[in-house]
Structure formats: C-alpha cells, structure tokens
Amino acid sequence: MTKSFLGIIGGSGLYDLPGLENKREVKVPSPWGEPSSDVHLGEISGLSVAFLPRHGEGHVQSPSSINYRANIDVMKRVGVTDLISVSACGSFKEELPPGHFVLVDQFIDRTFAREKSFFGEGCVAHVPMADPVSPRLADQIEAAAKAEGIAHTRGGTYLVMEGPQFSTRAESYMYKAWGCSVIGMTNMPEAKLAREAELCYATIAMVTDFDCWHEEHEDVDMTAIIRIMKGNSEKASRLVARIAADFPREHEPCPIGSDRALEHAIVTSRDARDPALLAKLDAVAGRVLNK
C-alpha cells in the first residue's frame, strides 16, 4: 500500500504552515510553467506534508493569474496522495457566519479565463466529476474539526467566480437563489486538475463575510475580511495539525475512485497521441500512460 503524503494548498490568509518540522523549501520544475511558489516540505507528527501558498509569497498572484496546472503538477511530483485546499470565501446562508468553516462537497464553476485541463489536442481525457470531493478525506477533516472544537458544517456548494472583483448585488442574489452555500475565486479549476492528477481532494472553506446579499451586514470589503482571516488562519493551522496527527499513514483507496480517475478516461488511441504532450503528462498521468 502507498504511504500517505498530505498536500495543503493555502489560500488568502494562510501563507505558511506553522508546526511544519524539518522544513525545507524546494523549487520543483514543472513542464506546465511556474507554480505559485517553491514547495514547502516537512513533517507534522511524522507525516510527510507539502505546503504551497496558492497566491505566492507576499500574495502576488490574483485568482486569474494563478498557474493551477503547475501547482497541481508539482504537488503530484513531490509525491502527494491527498490534497486539502484551504480557502477564504463568502457565505450565502445565515447559519454560515464569518469565522465558520464549511467542508463543501460540490462546486459550480463560473470561471472563464483559466486553463482547466492537463489534456487536450494530442491526448484527450474525460474524468468523472460528479463527486469532486473525496469523502474519506472529508471524513478526516470533519473528525479533526470536531476534535479541535472548530465550528463547521459538513456539505455545501461552493460557487467559484472568476474575480478578482467581488459579486454585484444581482449576482449575489442569483447565486443565493441557486442554493449555493459559499462563494470564492480559487477552487476551480484546482479541483478538476486534482482529479485529473488522481489526487484525493477536499476543501476547507473559511467564511470571511456574507458577500453582498445580506441587508443587515455591510457589503464585503477587504478591511473586514482581513480581520476575520486572522482568526480563521489560527484555526486552520490547528485543524491541519490535528488532521496530520490523526491521518492514516497508509493511503487507503478512495471510495469514489479519485486516485484511479484516469483508469478509463483517456480516449485517444496510443498511436495517435502527441509525444510532446505525453512528456508533459509524465507526473500527472504516468500511472496509466506507462501501462
């Protein structure tokens, strides 16, 4: 059985991972371009952990300029088996106030200016995305949140907008009417690419505001968000430490097949595949391409 290797992608407010022992920052080359930063490698409670700040050191990457393909590729290259996204978000529900964590299980992708797949002309693949979150990984996050006494909700839909501007009021009302739980700018195409890379993926959505639908709260602004993010970051650090401490040391097969997503996904015949693209797919799809 494969050894577990936990990956953490930190969003706004989480630019480092306190408690990472034997820490070293490694520049991992990727054929997909430059990732957001060097990968921070180390251990927490003896578990191998890789951390990547999604927006780069000093928050220099906007949601639209992040190289999502390179970020997922380098996580795969260092050996990550399970990937947790930590993201700031707005809330569409009274029962999900600022400071609350949501363990989402669905996404609606409204982004339009990003590369969304490792595959394309020369090697076509279609991975299943009906259930984008690995339930076993979500179970582990939920157990850790309960152990740490962190207010959280299991389940919900994350609307991913392009940004970098926040929603108009009309958009906010519409997304709320759709039944969405939270809104953010970064978990797509990240979740899709993680599935293509056969990584178990889950999201910790940290609520910072009520977007702009709530008549009794001020409209979203960065001053209020930053204040809430400080408290969220402290809780997120505790949560990740607890997850790592209790995490299974052997990677168990994902019950929905996240770690075998490419098994029957590639439809391009072997003799028609583009060698140049195959070379770029060595880490992401090597398991199936080398069969």
For the annotated catalytic residues, the residue numbers are 209, 211
Q: Would you say 13 and 58 are in contact if contact means Cβ atoms under 8 Å apart?
A: no
Q: Is 211 annotated as a binding residue?
A: yes
The H or E element that residue 106 is part of is strand 106-109
Q: Is 87 annotated as a binding residue?
A: yes
Strand partners, 24: 41
Strand partners, 250: 3
Q: Is 55 annotated as a binding residue?
A: yes
User: How do 47-53 and 39-44 pair as beta strands?
Assistant: antiparallel
Interatomic CA distance for residues 259 and 173, integer angstroms: 37
Q: Would you say 66 and 32 are in contact if contact means Cβ atoms under 8 Å apart?
A: no
Interatomic CA distance for residues 214 and 91, integer angstroms: 10
Q: Is 209 annotated as a binding residue?
A: yes
Q: Is 195 annotated as a binding residue?
A: no
Q: Is 69 annotated as a binding residue?
A: no
- Which residue pairs from 39-43 have beta carbons closer than 8 angstroms and sit at least 24 positions apart in sequence? 39/74, 39/75, 39/78, 40/16, 41/78, 42/17
Q: Would you say 262 and 285 are in contact if contact means Cβ atoms under 8 Å apart?
A: yes
As to burial, measured by CB atoms within 10 angstroms (0-12 exposed, 13-18 middle, 19+ buried), residue 39 is buried
Q: Is 210 annotated as a binding residue?
A: yes
Q: Is 1 annotated as a binding residue?
A: no
Binding annotation: 12, 54-55, 87-88, 185-186, 209-211
Q: Which positions make up the binding site for substrate?
A: 185, 209-211
